[in-house]
Chain A
Amino acid sequence: MRYVVAMSGGVDSSVVAGLLRDAGHEVIGVTLQLYDHGAATGRKGACCAGQDIHDARRVADRLGIPHYVIDAETRFAQAVIADFADTYAAGETPVPCVRCNQTVKFADLTALARDLGADRLATGHYVRRVDGPDGPELHRAVDPARDQSWFLFATTRDQLASCAFPLGSMPDKRAVRAVADRLGLGVAEKPDSQDICFVPAGSYMDVVGKLRPDALAPGEIVDAAGAVLGRHEGIARYTVGQGKRLGPAAQLGGQKQVVLATDPKTRRVVIGPRAAGTDVVRLREVNWLVPPPAVPLRCAVKLRARDALHPAAVVATGDGAVVRLDAPALPAPGQACVFYDGERVLGGGFICRPDGG
Chain B
Amino acid sequence: MVYLDANATEPLRPEAHAALVAALAVTGNPASVHGAGRAARRLLEDAREQLATRFGAAPADVVFTSGGTEADALAIHALGRDRQLIVGATEHEAVRSAALSANVLPVDRDGVADLDALARLLEAGGPALVCLMLANNETGTLQPVAEAAALCRRHGALLHVDAVQAAGRMPVDLRSLGAHALAVSSHKLGGPAGAGALLLAPEVSALAPLIAGGGQERGRRGGTPPVATIAGFAAAAATAGDASPLAALRDRAERAAIEAGAVLCGAHAARLPNTTSLALPGVRADAQVIALDLAGVAVSAGAACSSGKVATSHVLTAMGLGPLAGQAIRVSLPWNATAADVDAFAAAYARMADRLRPALARPAA
B183 in the interface, Cβ–Cβ < 8 Å? no
A72 and B307 in contact, given A66-B294, A115-B355, A116-B290 (Cβ under 8 angstroms): no
User: A74 contacts which chain B residues (CB < 8 A)?
Assistant: 365
CA distance A215 to B191 in the complex (A): 58
Segment at the interface with B among A104-112, A137-145, A241-249: A104-112
Contact present for B293 and A112 (CB under 8 Å): no
User: B287 contacts which chain A residues (CB < 8 A)?
Assistant: 112, 115-116
Size bracket, chain A contacts: 20 to 34
A108 and B365 in contact, given A69-B307, A115-B359 (Cβ under 8 angstroms): yes
A66 and B293 in contact, given A74-B365, A115-B355 (Cβ under 8 angstroms): yes
CA distance A54 to B286 in the complex (A): 18
A contacts with B: majority SS: mixed
A116 and B307 in contact, given A72-B365, A108-B363, A111-B362 (Cβ under 8 angstroms): no
User: B294 contacts which chain A residues (CB < 8 A)?
Assistant: 28, 66, 116-117
A57 and B308 in contact, given A71-B286, A115-B287, A116-B294 (Cβ under 8 angstroms): yes
- B234-253 interface code vs A (CB 8 A; 1 in, 0 out): 00000000000000000000
Contact present for B355 and A49 (CB under 8 Å): no
Q: What is the chain A residue whose CB lies nearest that of B352?
A: A115
Contact present for A47 and B365 (CB under 8 Å): no
The one of A54, A108, A116 that contacts B291, using a Cβ cutoff of 8 Å? A116
CA distance A104 to B362 in the complex (A): 12
User: B306 contacts which chain A residues (CB < 8 A)?
Assistant: 47, 49
User: A48 contacts which chain B residues (CB < 8 A)?
Assistant: 305, 307, 309
CA distance A111 to B359 in the complex (A): 8
Q: What is the chain A residue whose CB lies nearest that of B305?
A: A48
CA distance A33 to B310 in the complex (A): 10
Give the residues from 277 to 307 in chain B that come closer than 8 angstroms, CB to CB, to chain A: 286-287, 290-291, 293-294, 305-307
B60 in the interface, Cβ–Cβ < 8 Å? no
Q: What is the chain A residue whose CB lies nearest that of B287?
A: A115
Contact present for A75 and B308 (CB under 8 Å): no
User: B307 contacts which chain A residues (CB < 8 A)?
Assistant: 33, 47-49, 53-54, 69
Q: What is the chain B residue whose CB lies nearest that of A75?
A: B365
User: B293 contacts which chain A residues (CB < 8 A)?
Assistant: 66, 68
CA distance A33 to B362 in the complex (A): 18
A70 in the interface, Cβ–Cβ < 8 Å? yes
B66 to chain A, nearest CB (A): 20
Q: Which of B291, B294, B310 has the most CB of A within 10 A?
A: B294
B69 to chain A, nearest CB (A): 16
B347 in the interface, Cβ–Cβ < 8 Å? no
The one of A53, A71, A116 that contacts B311, using a Cβ cutoff of 8 Å? A71
23 of the cross-chain contacts (CB-CB < 8 Å) are A28-B290, A28-B294, A47-B305, A47-B307, A48-B305, A48-B309, A67-B308, A68-B286, A68-B290, A68-B308, A71-B286, A71-B365, A72-B365, A75-B365, A108-B365, A111-B362, A112-B287, A115-B359, A116-B287, A116-B290, A116-B291, A117-B291, A117-B294
* Chain B residues close to A by CB (< 8 Å): 286-287, 290-291, 293-294, 305-311, 355-356, 359, 362-363, 365
Give the top 3 A-B pairs by smallest Cβ distance, nearest first.
Answer: A49-B307, A75-B365, A69-B309
Known: A28-B294, A117-B294. 17 other contacts (CB 8 A): A48-B307, A48-B309, A49-B306, A57-B308, A66-B293, A68-B293, A68-B308, A69-B308, A70-B309, A71-B309, A75-B365, A114-B359, A115-B291, A115-B355, A115-B356, A116-B291, A117-B355
